[in-house]
Structures are given as structure tokens and as C-alpha cells.
């Protein structure tokens, strides 16, 4: 029998389901998903095998960046409902034995937050130093320039000039997202207060947005010039993993996190260095449970200087994917490092379109199941993004730029369009390559409304949806898949149950086999006398592979689940397997 999962903290064995509220389910017909809509789908999530709901931001916000620009941290945006609706949702979650995790966005606020309104009102205002203000620089001709050459993540300068006080404020993202000054103890105390507000109300933990950029380099120096033709430069070297970030997170842990039984996961972009990321997670440091690192998510993005360009597609190699998975699955296990395991979220395109084959319904279903096996059989805490369990794919290449609502897509499109128009002397320019990259990579693909059934607007709303619904919803929807025991969702459901009953899949050692094989990714998980073998074919052609591992109990391995065959079939005599296109198998020895 499998070892009891109670030997691990609850957040290690948990399955977390990320909800993008505006696109999940609309309960009142206004075209926008809401809290009551989420509450009405709790049984669907419980049945899938979900333990924790993670809500992307639902706080009051102008929605300049889809809620990651918060104007009131202690209230719900009216689009989504009320605090009472949140309380009702929490009650329903807890009654079903699940937990609720909120999104904590405190590197920056909205420029419409009262803190910033006060800060920009006067240089002598007590909240002036709650944000990062600097005087202008002037070039040799006397023209006003930003305080440094940092480029904002969403294009342009990371500084915005304020006419009233004749200074610039820092915004690493949009101009409507001014960065908070974490060096000010009053800011940190205000953050601890708002965290306690939600925790005391019953929240079970936080996903912490871009938490590794809250401490900037001393003196805010210019970034190295890596793109000479650009006026502003990638500057993550000066704002990611800054000099006091660990000091601030230890303070957060001491004053807030350690007082509750929580799940905490930090988002850590701009960082692939393993040692850098370990510092946030290792138990001895008393900071966070785990972090999202994006090495796998960046596998198909080119570099510009030291930073990835997420909206441009770069072909990826299976050997790189293997290296990334192996590195993190074996990283500092003896020191207590713990992984987040995910292949989708609200900031990335659909996994079946990136790593599988969505060219036909058959290949789509088969490869989506194979990718589910890749994810669920890795050690760490599992994160599923809404619709991933259905094998939802990117929307069609035929959709025009007007369908891309994300500010990152819009800003990048406008930047390239302006550059090409200037170079062409105002003539019409070809943007099909950019639209082609967007069709593969844009964040928008994850944000289309959830596909619940075959009725109008995929059952998401009775009104006009805020964003166009993908065209395949009449076939690819939750209602169809709940009723189909061979569906992608049914496969996910069985797979999550297997994971919960076999601790080797959660916490076992990791050993890769046949690393040099161009199509097969195979690995072994071991814990005590438990053994799990995972074999995945990353291609649509059949392939024969011999897995040379003398320590595996070949005749005793039983097929637990596969995306072609039934449980118990296909015994392995000597480690030789015939794998069909995009086939995935999980064998167990207990």
C-alpha cells in the first residue's frame, strides 16, 4: 500500500486550481465572471480533485492590468461582487474541505489608490515616500530625461513625469501601476495590515505577485545597454532579487505568515538561477513555502539581453525541457527545497498548443493527456489553470489584433507597428509575423471565457462576454467532458486521484532515463519500496524505446494509467516499449 500522505504538510500534497475570475463564470448576465459564479461551480472543482482555489485579483481596481493594479486592498471590485459574496464563497469552499488562496499584489498599487493620490499631491505629504520618486535628469541640450534608462516590462520608460511636483515616479509595469517603496517601514507595516485583514477573515494563504522585485538596487543605477537602438534598457539586473528582498520576506514571515497555517507561493520572474531562487524557499530561511520559477515557461521565448521576450516564438527542444525538469526535480531536496509544478497560468498560452498537438481533435485529446501525465507525475505542489483540465487550446490564428485585450499584447503591437511605420515612411506595413507569434504566445489565450457547455457563449454568460469565446466550445466544454469517461477531464480526475494515493509521485526521488532520446522523456520516481515509471512520447509518430535500468523491477511494474491503454495492460518484459504518437504511461510498483 502507498504511504499515508498525512506525513507531509497539507500544502505539499495539495492540488491548486487557479481561477481567472473575470473569465470563469458570470452569474448575473453582465458578461463578466464573478464571485457568485465561482461559488456555483464548487462541486465541479471538488469532483475534479481540487484542494485549493487560487483567485487572481478581485480587489477594487481600474483594471488597467486586469486587476493587478489595486486601488483598495480591503474591498472587492463591484464587478465581481461584495465582501459578503466573498464570505459566502469562502464558506462554500471550507464546507467542501477545500481552501482559498488570494493573490497578493504589493510591489505596486494602482495610481488611483488613496496612498498614491496622497503621495503625488505634494512633496511634503506624509505618504510621499511611500512610492519611489526622483528628480529629472537633463541631457546636454537641456531636455528633461527620466532618472535612469530602465525599460518598463510593458514597454517604454519605467518612469512617469508628474507635472504638479516636477518629479518622476517609478513604475516597472504600467504608468497606472506605481511601485511601492518597500524601504519605507510604514509601507511594510501597511502591507502586513492588509494581509492580516484577509487572513483574519478566513483566507488560507497567498500567491505573491512579482514578490522578488520589491527591493531595488541602491541608487537605481542605469541598466547595461544591451539593445543599443532602444532608448530604454532591460533592467531586471537592478530590480529583481534586490539587496533587501530576503530581509523583507523574513520580516513578513515573522510578523504575519508564521502566525497562521498557510500556503505561500511567490512569483519570481526574471530569474532562472537556482541558488537565487532557493533562498526564497529553503525552510532554514523562514520566508516562503515555494516559488513559481519560469524556466520551463520561457523555453520558447528568445532572449534580448538578459531578459526573455515573451511575445516572440522560438522553437523549443525536448532536450531543453528534460534538462529543466530534471534540474528542478533534483534540486536541493536534502535541504527542503519544494517545487511548484505547472504548465499553464494566466500569463501564458495554452499548454496543448505549445507543447502538444492541437491540429486535430484526436491529437489534441491524446497530447493533452500526455501533458497531464508530465505535470502530475512530477514532485511538488500541483497547479492547474482553469480549462487546462479540458484540454482547452489557443484561439485561432484568424482572429485579428482587435481580439487581443491584454495590455502587454496591445503595447507590443503598437511599438512594432510604430517602428515599422516610421521605417516605411508611413506606408502600410506587414504585421502578420507579429500576429503569428501572438497566436502561439500571447497571454490572451488563457483569458478567454471558460467553456462550460454548448449553449450560447459557451454557457459562460447570458449577456455579452467581455472577451470573445473560443470557437470550438460546442464540442470542447465541461458538460461534454464530465459525461465522457474518456475525456481529457476524466483523465485528469483519475490522474489526480492516483497522485493522492501514491506519495511517491509527490515526494519521491527523480531519475531520468534515455536522456539523449529525441522523442522520449522517461523518468523514475522512488520512495522507499515504491517505484513509479513515467514514459512520454513527444511526437505524433510511433517509436520503439529500450529503457536500460537494471534496478527497475520490470516484470512487477503494472500500468496504472495511460492515454491509450487501460490499467493493468502492457507488461514490460525487458524495458522495451512500443509507444504510439503522444502516448504517455505511468507504471507503478508498490
267 is a catalytic site residue: yes
> Which ranges constitute the DSSP H helices of 243-393?
245-255, 274-281, 318-329, 351-354, 361-376
Q: Which three cell numbers stand for residue 345?
A: 497560468
Structure-block grid coordinates of residue 509: 526521488
Q: Please name the residue that has the C-alpha cell 485561432.
A: 396
Spatial distance between the Cα atoms of 343 and 352, rounded to a whole number of angstroms: 9
Given the residues 65, 267, 307, 583, the one annotated as active site: 267
First to last CA, the chain: 6
Helical ranges in 427-568 per DSSP H: 432-441, 478-482, 488-501, 504-507
How many other CB atoms sit within 10 Å of the CB of residue 274? 14
Active site residue 209: yes
Alpha-carbon separation of residue 201 from 51, 141, 185, 193, 196 (angstroms): 19, 56, 25, 12, 8
Pick the closest to residue 170 from 162, 412, 112 (CA basis): 162
245: Cα separation from own chain's centroid: 21
Q: Which residues contact 525 (CB under 8 A, 6 or more apart)?
A: 377, 379, 504, 505, 508, 509, 510, 511, 531, 532, 534
DSSP designation for 48: H
Q: What angle separates helix 488-501 from helix 361-376, to the nearest 10 degrees?
A: 10
26, 111, 179, 209: the catalytic one is: 209
Residue 474: count of CB within 10 angstroms of its CB: 12
**Residues labelled catalytic:** 209, 267
Amino acid at each position: 500500500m502507498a504511504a499515508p500522505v498525512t506525513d507531509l504538510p497539507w500544502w505539499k500534497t495539495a492540488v491548486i486550481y487557479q481561477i481567472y475570475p473575470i473569465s470563469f463564470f458570470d452569474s448575473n448576465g453582465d458578461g463578466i465572471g464573478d464571485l457568485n459564479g465561482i461559488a456555483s461551480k464548487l462541486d465541479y472543482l471538488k469532483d475534479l480533485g481540487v484542494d485549493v482555489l487560487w483567485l487572481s485579483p478581485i480587489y477594487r481596481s481600474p483594471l488597467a492590468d486586469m486587476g493587478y493594479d489595486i486601488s483598495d486592498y480591503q474591498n472587492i471590485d463591484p464587478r465581481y461582487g461584495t465582501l459578503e459574496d466573498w464570505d459566502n464563497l469562502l464558506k462554500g469552499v471550507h464546507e467542501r474541505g477545500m481552501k482559498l488562496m488570494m493573490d497578493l499584489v504589493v510591489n505596486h498599487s494602482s495610481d488611483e489608490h488613496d496612498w498614491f493620490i496622497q503621495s503625488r499631491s505634494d512633496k511634503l505629504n506624509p505618504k510621499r515616500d511611500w512610492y519611489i520618486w526622483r528628480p529629472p535628469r537633463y541631457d546636454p541640450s537641456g531636455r528633461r530625461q527620466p532618472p535612469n534608462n530602465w525599460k518598463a516590462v510593458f514597454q517604454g520608460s519605467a518612469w512617469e513625469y508628474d507635472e504638479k511636483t516636477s518629479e518622476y515616479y517609478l513604475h516597472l509595469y504600467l504608468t497606472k501601476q506605481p511601485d511601492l517603496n518597500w524601504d519605507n517601514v510604514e509601507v511594510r507595516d501597511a502591507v502586513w495590515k492588509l494581509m492580516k485583514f484577509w487572513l483574519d477573515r478566513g483566507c488560507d494563504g497567498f500567491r505573491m505577485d512579482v514578490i522578488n522585485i520589491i527591493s531595488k538596487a541602491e541608487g537605481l543605477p542605469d541598466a547595461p545597454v544591451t539593445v543599443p537602438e532602444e532608448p530604454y534598457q532591460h533592467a531586471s539586473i537592478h530590480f529583481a532579487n534586490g539587496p533587501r528582498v530576503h530581509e523583507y520576506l523574513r520580516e513578513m514571515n515573522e510578523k504575519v505568515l508564521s502566525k497562521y497555517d498557510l500556503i505561500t507561493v511567490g512569483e519570481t520572474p526574471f530569474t532562472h538561477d537556482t541558488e537565487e531562487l532557493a533562498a526564497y524557499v529553503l525552510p532554514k530561511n523562514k520566508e516562503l513555502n515555494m516559488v513559481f520559477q519560469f524556466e520551463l515557461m520561457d523555453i520558447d521565448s528568445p532572449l534580448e539581453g538578459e531578459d526573455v521576450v515573451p511575445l516572440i516564438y522560438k522553437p523549443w527542444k525536448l532536450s531543453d525541457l528534460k534538462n529543466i525538469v530534471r534540474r528542478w526535480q533534483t534540486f536541493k531536496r536534502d535541504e527542503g527545497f519544494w517545487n511548484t509544478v505547472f504548465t499553464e497560468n494566466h500569463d501564458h498560452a495554452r499548454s496543448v498548443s505549445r507543447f502538444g498537438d492541437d491540429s486535430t481533435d484526436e491529437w489534441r485529446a491524446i497530447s493533452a493527456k500526455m501533458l497531464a501525465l508530465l505535470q502530475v507525475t512530477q514532485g511538488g505542489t500541483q497547479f492547474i489553470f482553469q480549462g487546462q483540465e479540458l484540454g482547452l487550446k489557443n484561439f485561432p490564428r484568424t482572429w485579428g489584433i482587435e481580439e487581443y485585450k491584454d495590455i502587454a499584447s496591445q503595447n507590443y503591437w503598437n511599438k512594432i507597428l510604430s517602428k515599422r511605420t516610421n521605417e516605411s515612411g508611413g506606408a502600410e506595413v506587414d504585421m502578420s509575423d507579429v500576429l503569428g507569434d501572438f497566436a502561439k504566445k500571447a497571454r490572451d489565450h488563457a483569458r478567454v471565457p471558460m467553456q462550460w457547455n454548448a449553449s450560447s457563449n459557451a454557457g459562460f454568460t447570458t449577456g455579452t462576454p467581455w472577451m470573445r469565446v473560443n470557437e470550438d466550445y460546442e464540442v470542447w466544454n465541461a458538460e461534454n467532458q464530465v459525461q465522457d469517461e474518456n475525456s481529457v477531464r476524466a483523465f485528469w480526475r483519475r490522474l489526480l486521484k492516483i497522485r493522492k494515493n501514491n506519495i511517491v509521485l509527490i515526494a519521491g526521488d527523480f531519475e531520468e532515463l534515455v536522456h539523449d532520446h529525441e522523442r522520449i522523456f522517461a523518468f523514475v520516481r522512488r520512495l522507499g519500496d515504491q517505484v513509479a515509471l513515467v514514459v512520454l512520447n513527444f511526437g505524433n509518430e510511433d517509436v520503439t524505446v529500450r529503457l536500460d535500468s537494471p534496478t527497475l523491477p520490470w516484470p512487477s511494474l503494472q500500468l496504472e494509467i495511460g492515454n491509450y491503454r487501460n490499467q493493468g495492460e502492457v507488461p514490460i518484459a525487458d524495458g522495451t516499449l512500443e509507444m504510439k504518437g503522444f502516448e504517455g504511461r505511468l507504471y507503478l510498483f508498490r
